[in-house]
Amino acid sequence: MSRGRSDSGVWLRWCLVVFAVISALAVCGPALYWRFKKGITFHNSNLSCPPCLCDCPPPLSLFNLAPGLVNLSVSDCGSNDPDLKEEMEKQFVDLLTEELKLQEAVAEAHTRHTNITLAEAKRVASQYQREADKCITATETCEQARERAQAILLREKKITSVWERRARQMGWEGE
């Protein structure tokens, strides 16, 4: 019986080894194939292709495609646009001042939004507090009513026991 278990363990190990080798070849095989194929064709000059013979025209240059592009320069860029020209003439300090004003406007809008959100949160919290106060008041009222009912019940039990004792003294035997 123990021999059968050790044989199955050996077979399982062999199957795992074979599976690992096949997996490694499946993963690395294509890369090795192309590497050896390139190496063989590189060393064997008889199998290389002859040079191509083609009479294609030379590629056109940018100057031939658009001759007007050569005359353009960066200084001409936007010279016809008055808004762009005015913007480019502004001083660096003016640009920084404008940027600061924009950031201040964004900060004010953010503060306004935050204040509105805070006011809404306070309103909702106040409403919840009022509801909680109502619940606490109702609970206290119920608790007081329960205590009164308990005191009345205790008093009624005492009165009942007094009457029952008197009835037994007069000869009543009870139920």
Alpha helices in the chain (DSSP H): 2-43, 62-65, 82-89, 92-169
pTM of this prediction? 0.35
Phi-psi category of 118—alpha, beta or left, where left has phi over 0 and alpha has psi -120 to 50? alpha
Q: Which two tokens stand for residue 94?
A: 């003016």
HEC per residue, 114-143: HHHHHHHHHHHHHHHHHHHHHHHHHHHHHH
**Cβ-contact 126, 134 below 8 angstroms:** no
Nearest 5°: the CA angle 136, 139, 145 is 145
Neighbours of 41 (CB within 10 A): 13
Percent of the chain past pLDDT 90, that is, above it, reads 44
Mean pLDDT over all residues of the chain?
A: 82
Non-local (6+) Cβ contacts of 137 within 8 A are: none
> Could you report the per-residue pLDDT of 74-132, keeping only the tens digit for each?
555 656 778 777 777 777 778 888 899 999 999 999 999 999 999 999 999 999 999 99
